[in-house]
A and B are shown apart, each in its own frame.
Chain A
């Protein structure tokens, strides 16, 4: 008994999260993502000037006065990059949350009822998967009309099916698992088993997908803005800033710095998602625990 208790305590000490913290990529991802969130929250305090004010000489190269230079209209690029985070991050978070919710509900319904309902719902996800995401998002955004809100809506339209597929697959496989059968044999109804035994095992993978998708959403949003379907001038949005920069290649700083912002945020969320996947996957989690034993 005492030796067992000791063994249990030893195992409990090496819990899951610290294993992830020991990975350098996870730390890098977390630090960068956290830094961007801080920048977005405190943008007015951090930014040296108004992102919309055309109050400086146009097209100045980076200097101590303007670390990232000024754009063709005399706006401070650093301030615009900082304020740009207030557009991309919250919208990406909101649209991923909405897409994950819609997709998870659709997937859970399909996996729970199976048969005809499953067929209808999964064929509709196939319909979305049949198109490249950026093309479909462009079409939807173009139909809805220009603007950030419509661009976000278009991304939700292309993003939800992957959640539906993952959740459906998990509900099907976990639903047939022996521990769900055991719960059913003990007198749990199908719905009760779904809530108590199936869904907790589904949340982890959905969370991982959502983190990885955050990077995709920021990229898609910037892409749509780059194409002129998302944020409209003079709003400071990274994608549209890159688009402006492409017209003035001799002034490299106009497009490069917002591009770097997109790059770091996307990379950070990809790192985070990858390490979260290791944490939630029981096999890789166990390997991490064993390797430091």
Chain B
């Protein structure tokens, strides 16, 4: 059984003056221990909202989030239930996710359950070393670190809670290329060595391909394709996945702009009829305009939400 299970999660945001926006329109996802699951999609497709709903920062309108067999309840004024503390979130921007007035060590120590100060200090040093920070880092303030080091502090803080799953919301997006690569390797090592489940949300497909075991592709609040990383990369089953992968720049200069993807992500408050992707899909046909394709299982544990997936010659996996 998966350690973190999201089933048909729907998240609505209230709009000022009535009405609501459906940021996540029924998304399902599983994370196993020791597994890195990549979640990719364009800006505004609901990735971050799904991440917040997964840890209980945002209440789900419907659907269920289950962590280690327990339902994830939305946050109240009280302390989070102890069992849920093992489900952690790392934010995108390490400049706003660390308190500027507290030392790195004190913020990391927040998540440590140990009683004595000496034991806590020792554990803070251990965690600093684990994420590749020098021991002296604990007594420094966040403004004394670079972006990459800050993100390491944020990861150490999440690790302090002895988590089973960490949700990472675009953890690499605000870093420079070398820091991105180092942190991506760190994340892969953590998942492998500590048996952590990671839900890695990113729009950087190259990094997701590099570290993720499985990938889910999200479009306008719904999953359009999931599967093991390499097969999905080799033969995308959904036109959106295909367009995303085609847009990744290649060293030979062969990366192409996704010309097949005209226009912007539609307003989630007024999604298109039928298939959500049909206004931008190069393979659109009449059925797509009226009927929404379900996320159908395909061979090898894959699934895609496209009428063409697996039935026509050019879409066979």
Contact = CB atoms under 8 A, between A and B. Distances in A.
Given A192-B79, A201-B100, A182 B154 contact: yes
B99 A187 contact: no
B128 to A, nearest CB: 11
Interface in A177-203: 177-192, 196-197, 200-201
A282 interface: yes
A255 B136 CA distance: 61
B117 interface: no
Interface string A1-19: 1001100100110000000
B93 interface: yes
Interface string A193-233: 00011001100000000000000000000000000000000
Nearest to B94: A178
B13 to A, nearest CB: 14
B101 A201 contact: yes
Which of B89, B107, B110, B143 has the most CB atoms of chain A within a 10 A radius of its CB? B110
Interface string B237-256: 00000000000000000000
B96 interface: yes
A178 B143 contact: no
User: Chain A interface: which size bin?
Assistant: 20 to 34
A73 to B, nearest CB: 55
A74 to B, nearest CB: 57
A179 B136 contact: no
Contacts of A197: 99, 102
B160 A186 contact: yes
Nearest to A203: B101
Interface in B70-108: 75-80, 82, 85, 88-89, 91, 93, 96-102, 107
A1 B102 CA distance: 22
Nearest to B55: A185
Interface residues of B, number: 33
Nearest to A5: B136
B294 interface: no
A4 B160 CA distance: 23
Contacts of A282: 100, 143
Given A1-B134, A5-B136, A11 B144 contact: yes
Contact of A179 (B77, B88, B96): B96
Interface string A160-178: 0000000000000000011
B82 A185 contact: no
Given A188-B79, A189-B79, A201-B101, A183 B96 contact: no
Q: DSSP majority for the B interface?
A: loop
A8 B139 CA distance: 11
Given A8-B140, A8-B144, A11-B144, A187 B79 contact: yes
A138 to B, nearest CB: 40
Nearest to A192: B79
A181 B57 contact: yes
B157 interface: yes
Contacts of A185: 55, 57, 80, 85, 88-89
Which of A8, A185, A188, A190 has the most CB atoms of chain B within a 10 A radius of its CB? A185
Nearest to A7: B144
B111 interface: yes
Contacts of A196: 102
Interface of A: 1, 4-5, 8, 11-12, 177-192, 196-197, 200-201, 282, 286
11 contacts: A5-B134, A8-B144, A179-B97, A182-B89, A182-B97, A182-B154, A187-B80, A187-B85, A187-B110, A192-B79, A286-B143
Given A178-B93, A187-B79, 12 more contacts: A5-B134, A8-B144, A179-B97, A179-B99, A182-B97, A182-B107, A185-B88, A186-B160, A187-B110, A188-B110, A190-B77, A200-B102
7 closest Cβ pairs, A-B complex: A190-B77, A178-B97, A186-B111, A189-B79, A179-B99, A187-B85, A178-B91
